[in-house]
Structure 1
Amino acid sequence: MNLKKLELSLEQENELILEYESYVEDLLENEDVNKMKEFKHHHYTTCFDHSLNVSFYSFVIAKRLGLDYVSTARGGLLHDLFLYDWRSDEPREGKHAFAHPHIALRNAEKSFELNKIEKDIIVKHMWPVTIKLPKYKESFIVSCVDKYCATMEFSNGLAKKLRYQLM
């Protein structure tokens, strides 16, 4: 693959962002989605910011691959809609890593009509921690991007903390 093909002009990037926002606008206006801003997720990132990162990067990849990028964007934004502090509040359903995808799906279904791809994205985003394989390519993309974003968010936060301690 030619890396030049991956470069975007500022105008193309802005158009991509506007297109992305048009697909998730209703989600971004939702009270429960905005509650994700109240919960830290990967130490230095809120659940909302993490979900927005996962959603946008997954959208870009799915669009480039000619997949259902709208469902990818929407499912990616809702994948962690569990709405509790997983560090202090253990869900009744069991361990957070295994329970939160089902809790997120339940919460998302209360406010939005989801298609089969969006549901699969939400429930399967913890693969391979959870055993069931993603059924759709879009679900696999979100699962991989989720791990990438979590790693980057944690690493960036840790680097900031270490720089602060060394000063």
Structure 2
Amino acid sequence: MSPTDEERFSRLVAEVAGAGRVPLMRECVQHGQVSTWEHCVRVAHASLAMARALRLRVSERELVRAALLHDYFLYDWHEPGHVGHATQHPVFALRNAHEDFDLSPLEENVIASHMWPLPPTRVPRSREAVLVCLADKWCSLAETLLMR
């Protein structure tokens, strides 16, 4: 991304970074040694970079906000008792995001569908949702395999 894009991205991240219970995301490990917050920032960055590279028209603000909140479930999924985390955490993330933020329908769908095709009933309905879904899988794989 261009320096201008990076600057705009940083401003969008700053809008969310200290709001609600977002600081708690820094305390939870997502993959390997990566915190949930770090993971979400990476997914947001990768989503926006893909949109730029593919020259897609997207709502940048909604894309970045939803990507930053896609794993806003606020618990350590590595602890016992979180059976079904892979399919259920988008429900918890969406509920928590609703409690702390005013979400658009687009942002709601991005958060709810980011694990598609698990479950197959929560389908991405926008370019933004598809980008976050793909970026999440890419970043998760990289974090799990390369950043132990």
Of residues 66, 69, 83, the one that matches 1:78 is: 69
Greater RCO structure (CA 8 Å; 6+ sep): 2
Which has the larger Rg? 1
Whether the aligned pair in 1 keeps the contact of 2:124 and 2:130 (CA below 8 Å) is yes
User: Following the alignment from structure 2 to structure 1, what is the Cα–Cα distance between the partners of residues 30 and 113?
Assistant: 18
Q: Does 56-65 or 113-122 show the bigger shift? A: 56-65
1:88 aligns with 2:52: no
User: Following the alignment from structure 1 to structure 2, what is the Cα–Cα distance between the partners of residues 121 and 89?
Assistant: 27
> Unmatched 5+ residue regions in structure 1?
1-7, 159-167
User: Following the alignment from structure 1 to structure 2, what is the Cα–Cα distance between the partners of residues 15 and 117?
Assistant: 25
Once the two structures are TM-superposed, the CA of residue 23 in structure 1 deviates from its matched residue by 2.2
Of residues 103, 107, 115, the one that matches 1:118 is: 107
> Unmatched 5+ residue regions in structure 2?
none
Q: Match for residue 6 of structure 2?
A: 17
The TM-score with structure 2 as length reference comes to: 0.90
Once the two structures are TM-superposed, the CA of residue 89 in structure 1 deviates from its matched residue by 4.5
The 5 Å alignment of 1:44-63 reads 44-63=33-52
After superposition, the Cα gap between the structure-2 partners of 1:89 and 1:59, relative to the gap in structure 1 and judged at 3 Å, is: farther
Query: Any idea what SS the aligned residue of 2:136 has?
Result: helix
The TM-score with structure 1 as length reference comes to: 0.80
Q: Does 54-63 or 80-89 show the bigger shift? A: 54-63
Runs of 4+ in 1 over 6 A off after TM superposition: none
Whether the aligned pair in 1 keeps the contact of 2:47 and 2:135 (CA below 8 Å) is yes
Once the two structures are TM-superposed, the CA of residue 82 in structure 1 deviates from its matched residue by 0.5
Whether the aligned pair in 2 keeps the contact of 1:121 and 1:134 (CA below 8 Å) is yes
Instruction: Give aligned-pair identity as a percent.
Output: 31
Q: Match for residue 130 of structure 2?
A: 140
Whether the aligned pair in 2 keeps the contact of 1:62 and 1:72 (CA below 8 Å) is no
Aligned residues: 145
User: Following the alignment from structure 2 to structure 1, what is the Cα–Cα distance between the partners of residues 112 and 57?
Assistant: 23
Q: Match for residue 89 of structure 2?
A: 100
Q: Cα RMSD between the aligned structures?
A: 1.6
Whether the aligned pair in 2 keeps the contact of 1:51 and 1:76 (CA below 8 Å) is yes
Amino acid at match of 1:115: S
Whether the aligned pair in 2 keeps the contact of 1:81 and 1:104 (CA below 8 Å) is yes
Amino acid at match of 1:120: N
Structure with the higher fraction of residues in helix conformation: 1
Whether the aligned pair in 2 keeps the contact of 1:62 and 1:68 (CA below 8 Å) is no
Once the two structures are TM-superposed, the CA of residue 128 in structure 1 deviates from its matched residue by 1.1
